[in-house]
């Protein structure tokens, strides 16, 4: 595990299977660097869904939206067209209004990329404390 995730990964992982399509690649058939960001976003979204957190519902009722504040990524090996990937997502840390994800993109168990993603909760465009019920879902994985 690289330095991006080695010191931060905690808790059970959520694993998302994902295939690489032509649209994800550049002219060489390798995954374009920006596509990795979309893969990581899907992993974080499914991690939240597995805990009963629907981002659309939070935004619709004016409660909270999540935005990426910082992202550090290490590209280790290229992903290629038609690869089956696994997006491994774990909670790394939880603050009052923010949390960090430790994520990895794997092919057949081999790490292709690792990332540490800092997310902040906003309400009306300003940082907002996470409500207790939401914090419990993030920490315990308890879905209502």
In degrees, rounded to 5, the angle at the alpha carbon of residue 39 between the alpha carbons of residues 33 and 127 is 100
Q: Tell me the C-alpha distance between 15 and 65, whole Å.
A: 23
Going by DSSP bridges, is the β-strand pair 98-107/84-94 parallel, antiparallel, or unpaired? antiparallel
Q: 73, 113 in Cβ contact below 8 A?
A: yes
Q: Tell me the C-alpha distance between 133 and 110, whole Å.
A: 36
Assess whether 26 carries a catalytic annotation. yes
Catalytic residue among 26, 57, 61, 88: 26
Catalytic residue positions, numbered:
26
């Amino acid at each position: 595990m690289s330095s991006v995730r080695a010191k931060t990964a905690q808790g059970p992982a959520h694993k998302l299977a994902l295939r690489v399509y032509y649209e994800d690649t550049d002219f060489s058939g390798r995954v374009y660097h920006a596509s990795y960001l979309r893969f990581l976003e899907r992993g974080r979204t499914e991690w939240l869904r597995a805990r009963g957190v629907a981002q659309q519902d939070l935004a619709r009722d004016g409660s909270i939206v999540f935005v990426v504040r910082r992202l550090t990524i290490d590209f280790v090996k290229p992903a290629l067209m038609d690869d089956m990937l696994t997006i491994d997502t774990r909670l790394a840390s939880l603050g009052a209004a923010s949390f960090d994800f430790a994520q990895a993109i794997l092919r057949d168990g081999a790490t292709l990329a690792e990332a540490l993603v800092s997310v902040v909760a906003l309400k009306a465009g300003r940082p907002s404390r996470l409500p207790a019920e939401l914090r419990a879902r993030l920490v315990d994985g308890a879905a209502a």
